[in-house]
Each structure stands twice: as structure tokens, then as C-alpha cells.
Amino acid sequence: MKAVYVLNGPNLNLLGVREPATYGTQTLADIEARLKTRCQAHGLSLTFRQSNQEGDLVTWIQEAGAAGIPVILNAGAYTHTSIALHDAIRASSAKVIEVHLSNVHAREDFRHHSMISAVAAGVILGFGALSYDLALEALIAQSQTTKS
């Protein structure tokens, strides 16, 4: 593994100001800076993107899958509705770790089902911004295990 994509869906550009009791006070830029430092320490390049448009996320997942680059995906609300993201992951064979800042299972019923989980390599949720770090650590650990 030489690179990692971190893809963020709708409204994640509002982190730090949107419902801080639920999502925390760190901004997406804070998360990106921290992950960039961690990636550099492991010799990895980081592509970090956010879009409120479902089609952008589909394109980026396909791009990563074609290049064999693993993805940390916080699809936001698209998690619960997007067959397109599910299909993009499956069709491109992208290795995806699904991430959520909050524990979606402790929230509204409509957040309890994910269209992503069935095609994700794993799911990390409920640890705030630390969820991204945990996903990155999982990818690093898995890549080291496959080298052995």
C-alpha cells in the first residue's frame, strides 16, 4: 500500500460547526492535517476529498478501485440511501472501510441501515474524529500483514 483515499460525503464540510455535540468540534481540515502527518510517517500519499454530490463520490471510488488504492469512506447521509455507492464499491473492487463519527445505531432508526456495510471491508463508528485514525491504522496493519 502506497496511497490512501479518504472520501467524505454531504455536509461533512460543516464539521466543527454542525451539531458539535454529535459530530465534535474538529473540522474536516483538522482531520485531513492529522491523517496527512500519519500517512507521511508511513510513507503513504493521501488523497483527501469531500463532496456534497453523490456522483463525485462514485467517480472517486471507481478511481481508487481501478488503481488498487484503499478508501476510508464517510459517506454521510448517502450511507443510508445510496445504491450507487454500494454498486461503485462492488463494481470497482475498491477496498473500503466505512467510517462514521457518531454511533449511528444510537441515533434515529433511519440511520441504522447502511447501504455501504455489506460491501465494505470493515466499519468503524462512534469514536468521533478518531474513527478516521482507527480506519487508517486498520489499513496499515492489514497491508503489513499481507506483506508477511
Q: Which of 5, 23, 78, 132 is catalytic?
A: 23
| Max CA distance (Å), the chain | 43
Q: Nearest-CA neighbor of 31 among 44, 45, 12, 17?
A: 12
23 is catalytic: yes
Angle between helices 28-41 and 130-147 (to 10 degrees): 20
100 is catalytic: yes
Spatial separation of the C-alpha atoms in residues 127 and 47, rounded to whole Å: 22
Q: Which of 78, 86, 100, 132 is catalytic?
A: 100
User: Which residues are designated catalytic?
Assistant: 23, 100
